[in-house]
Structures are given as C-alpha cells and as structure tokens.
Amino acid sequence: MRRISIGNGALTASEISLGCMRINELSEKAAANLINTALEEGIDFFDHADIYGGGKSEEVFAQAVDMCPSIREKFIIQTKCGIRQGYFDFSKEHILEAVDGSLKRLQTDYIDVLLLHRPDALVEPEEVAEAFSILQSNGKVRNFGVSNQNPMQIELLKKYLNQKIVINQLQLSITNTGMIDAGFNVNMKVDGSIDRDGSILDYCRLNDITIQPWSPFQYGFFEGVFLNNDKFPELNKKIDELAQNKGVTNTAIAIAWLLRHPANMQPIVGTTNVSRLRDICKASTIELTRQEWYEIYLAAGNKLP
C-alpha cells in the first residue's frame, strides 16, 4: 500500500482508508477479521463517525481489536461529529460532548483526526474555534478537518481557528464528478459548467487539504453502485477491459481512477467483505495512464468540450 501525506505533512497514512460505518452489523470476530485484513493490506487509516450505527460502530471497532495503548498505535483513527437527530450542531458544547463520547466508545485517549460532519447553517465559528483549542490543548484531538464543506465555509472557520484544516471529506466517484466537470466546462453554457461547490477541488489543492472521496462506488445519492450495473453498460465495459488487462478486479480500477488524480486523494472504502477489501487494495499497485483515466471519464457519459 502506497502512503501519502495528509494535509501537507500533518500525517502520513495509507492512500486508502477503511470506512467503518457498517461494522456494527458484524460480529466481533468478523469485525476483527476485517480490520486485521486491512492492516495486512497496508491500511492504517480508519474512518468513523459518532452517528455510525448509533455509536455502536466505534464500540465494535474497539472491542474487535481489543484496544489498549500498544494496539492503539497501529491505527490512525478519524471520527466525525455534528449530525444529530433531525438537525446539525457545531456548538462548542456538542463538539466537546461528542468527542468524549467517541473516546469512550473507541477506548482511546485521543483521536488522530476530528471532522465536522455536514455543515451547520447556524455555525458560530468562534465556538468551533474554542472547542478545537480545548480538544487540542488537552490532547484529545491531534488534527482537524471538515466534511462536505465548500471553500467559503472553510474560510469562515479558518478566520477563527488556530488549527489547520487538513481534510475535507466529499462525495466523489466515477459517476459523481461535479467538482471535476466544472473545471472542463469553463465559460460554457452547458450543465457541466455549473460550479456547485465553489471550485472545491482546486481550493483544497491550493490549501493543502486532503480530499477523502466517500461512496466511491455509488452513483447519485446512495442510489446504488455503478459497477456491474446495467444502467452503465459502456462504463462497465471499459472498466472490465482495463481490469482484465491489468489483472485486477473492477473495484480496483474504480479506486485507481480516484488515486490517479494528482490531488493525492484518500478514498474511503466501506466494504465489510474481506475478499472485496483485498481486491480493492490492489488499486494501490497499479497506475492508470492519462489516456485510460480519460477513457473511463468519457465512458461514464461525460463529454469533453
């Protein structure tokens, strides 16, 4: 597994992360097998959120690895907070309470990266800054980031924060390429020219913020996977062709497409299938050519100007 710099040196980690959203559905033994497989494949970055499984996913993770200080050092643990039942909450009080809850469930004294989940329209950045400073000074959180935020939302936080934003977790896959499309269709009256996210891809590159693509196999908003899907015949034909040529599975090609981008993204893969995880990790052993990357992009139904 190749390793990348997160946030321009804040961390060095595996270029693929294991998303732990659904490990609450696994037995402790199955969860341990999944996590150990990830480690064997070179994955050391594990993505959580306080809402995953209602908090149970964090608990299962800690129980599965028999968490203790010596074992804790094997992992880079990221978790997220801010989503509550029916609303979003970036208040100082909630951030501090959420982190304490995650620490307890994960059976650890610190979190490597804390992300603010979905933007809170009522955010008071001064409160976020206070919470982050408290968490950093007491050693509970070492690095900070956001999820699903645009440049101006990040700039608003940065005005008050003493900490660097090192990660932005965003939806991105071969079939969800809005942040890429807008860059192709500058100054054109076509749907692809609509900038829906404030040029977040370029912004993150300029500011050394690592993008973590979530749902890298999904199309739409949790509508399903595009691989082996009759809705995407040309795309699957191209992916399967490349997979055969390179001796990997279609899942590896889908992730390799993201890894090929020079932004040095870190895809979050949420599979709970051990065999599938091993297949996905092979993406780190190959590199698509520029032409192959574009062929996949076009096969997904995109058009170049």
For the annotated catalytic residues, the residue numbers are 52
Find, among 115, 112, 170, the residue nearest to 140 by Cα: 112
248: left (phi over 0), alpha (psi -120 to 50) or beta: beta
Closest to 239 measured CA to CA, from 276, 191, 293, 286: 293
Find all residues with CB under 8 Å of 134, minimum gap 6, and list them.
Answer: 96
How far apart, in whole angstroms, are the C-alpha atoms of residue 71 and residue 130?
Answer: 31
Residues in a beta bridge with 141: 111
Question: Tokens standing for 32?
Answer: 């341990």
Q: Are 250 and 243 in contact (CB under 8 A)?
A: yes
Alpha helices in 226-272 (DSSP H): 233-246, 250-259
